A and B are shown apart, each in its own frame.
Chain A
């Protein structure tokens, strides 16, 4: 991976793995309808309010930063999104879930119902739940979210790790039931990336599926 040439303003767009998958489906799911902005790579601790040359130079270290090229894995980019909030906001919305890790056995169900803190509106209109490696679940569904929910659907088989996104206020998944994917491993893990559709607030939950079927209790992770 190289650094982008910053001697000219170039916007280099590439398809993500997910984009390529949906493009190959040719079922209309590859249709770009909206955009979001992010400030990945920016460390705001470099913002220097004590700069001797004045406020115009507070962001000098950030603005001179050379950026790396786009990463095609949709799970590793657009991490910190820019959001539109009223001027004078003192707190940025953050997501809360009961635990940052779910551990289940094969075939077990689990539910995620996040909540948004520091949010003036009553509820977030929806959350996106992105399973980074969808091979670890056999079925998923989401509810709530004013018409954005996804009915229960079986996850299509893929030989490699691909993501799957569900929209709603609550997500229920069923861990995979077969043992083939485990190989000699006693457990497999992936990330579930939860993002508030209105606030862009994001959190990551680790999903661990144990090969040992003794751990089959249904786990419910709800908001505080």
Chain B
């Protein structure tokens, strides 16, 4: 007589499966033009406010919709501290601003605390970088490579500038489509950074395939940036984005990142993250997939013909335990609906339900595979 059946070694097996899904809330594949910020979070008039460091981007308007969720953040970093407020103008603290802190933070992450290293894009070192930092809950374990697609479009004023005199506004004019170069490089990363893992180039193209034969499409401004799929962020070269979007000298989106005269001053005019947010809205497409490794353990429930043919179900018996059906004395019929997994102390640790009742009697055996995800 037995109610609990011990597992043997060959009854269990471990497995790790990689699962991909759309990153944005609600399993949305393309965020489109839905890039909202919060008026209460993005405040740049105080050097210690969170808005001075980064701007959180929601899928819905957080000021009017309680269901809005943070999808990613935009930060702006400056090697020289431009475009942000100084923390303190006292001696020893000049030109240390939130934007300089951001640049140093990501430099520390990527280069492991080597302050002599700066972000260099195809040999070009800009003063400014943008960071798109995807919310951890969105990208899960890693950004899926070969699926990242970002479209950035020039500012409204620049779109007007690049219109041909008699022509209608074309989406191709001033727009750049960015992706990682994982397909082009057959998955080979630029480098494995100690703090953030793999590094891929952010290039002009789509679905991991670089357009053209090199990473740089902007004269004298370097490549567009880097993708760090394991850490969930993308670094963009501000100078490449600031480059002209004109037909004569294309490649950028004329983002107008920051006015150099604003160095060390209050940045009410710059608001650099806001400019990238607008470029994303105008671009109208931000596709990102999440990658997650799920560790599973499979349990094989072996139900032999002579086992589990009776039940303690109250409807199976009268109050004194007598079987309700005479035909079941020799040919009992039960139905499996639930599998319970226990430890040695009889604690019910996990439970599995079948999709429909499984008949069991002395002429039937069953093999049930239970998958438990961690």
Contacts and interface: CB of A to CB of B under 8 A. Distances in A.
Interface string B354-372: 1111011010000011111
Nearest to B368: A11
Chain A contact residues: helix, strand, loop or mixed:
loop
Contacts of A220: none
B370 A13 contact: yes
Contacts of B65: none
Nearest to B340: A78
Given A83-B311, A91-B321, A92-B316, A32 B355 contact: no
Given A40-B338, A81-B312, A82-B311, A13 B355 contact: no
Interface stretch (B48-56, B154-162, B182-190, B302-310): B302-310
Contacts of B338: 37-40, 70, 77-78
A31 B356 contact: no
A74 B319 CA distance: 25
B40 interface: no
Contacts of B340: 35-38, 77-78, 81
B342 A32 contact: yes
A41 B313 CA distance: 9
A84 B308 contact: yes
B344 interface: yes
Interface string B1-12: 111111100001
A59 B347 CA distance: 32
A39 B339 contact: no
A66 interface: yes
Interface string A71-115: 110100110111111011111111000000000000000000000
Interface in A109-141: 117-118, 120-121, 128, 130
A68 B348 CA distance: 19
Nearest to A94: B321
A33 B346 CA distance: 9
B54 to A, nearest CB: 32
A91 B322 contact: yes
B333 interface: yes
B321 A92 contact: yes
A57 interface: no
Contacts, number: 284
Interface stretch (A171-179, A180-188, A198-206): A198-206
Given A11-B339, A82-B334, A117-B321, A29 B314 contact: no
B323 interface: yes
B330 A49 contact: no
Contact of B1 (A8, A11, A163, A198): A198
A212 interface: no
Interface in B12-29: 12
A202 B312 contact: yes
A26 interface: no
B352 A11 contact: yes
B137 interface: no
Contacts of A70: 338, 351-353
A39 B351 contact: no
A31 B350 contact: no
Given A6-B356, A47-B333, A11 B321 contact: no
Interface of A: 4-16, 18-19, 22-23, 29-45, 47, 49, 55, 58-59, 62-72, 74, 77-78, 80-85, 87-94, 117-118, 120-121, 128, 130, 163, 165, 167, 195-202
19 contacts: A12-B352, A13-B370, A13-B371, A16-B349, A22-B349, A33-B6, A33-B7, A33-B343, A35-B4, A35-B339, A37-B339, A40-B338, A45-B324, A62-B357, A65-B356, A82-B312, A83-B308, A84-B310, A85-B1
Given A13-B351, A33-B343, A42-B311, 6 more contacts: A14-B350, A35-B339, A37-B308, A38-B340, A45-B324, A84-B308
Interface of B: 1-7, 12, 297, 299, 301, 303, 306-317, 319-325, 327, 329-330, 332-357, 359-360, 362, 368-373
